[in-house]
Amino acid sequence: MNHLQRHSLQLLGRKETLTRSARRIIAARRRVAIRASELTGVSRRN
């Protein structure tokens, strides 16, 4: 395995972990947004 192949493999691995953590962040943000909209809906009803 030459240097370029090893480097591209490292980049691929890093990209994978980045997308994984990004997905987790997006999911958490969506959950927070849903909870916030539910709260505003409840306050609007009252």
Question: Per residue in 17-41, pLDDT tens?
Answer: 989 999 999 999 999 999 999 988 8
In angstroms, the Cα distances linking 10 to 4, 27, 43 are 10, 26, 49
Whole-structure pTM value: 0.55
What pLDDT band is residue 3 in, cutting at 50, 70 and 90?
Answer: confident
How would residue 7 be classed by pLDDT, with cut points 50, 70 and 90? confident
- The reported pLDDT for the residue numbered 1 is 66
CA 44, CA 31: separation in Å to the nearest integer? Answer: 20
Beta strands in 1-46 (DSSP E): none
Residue 13's pLDDT is 87
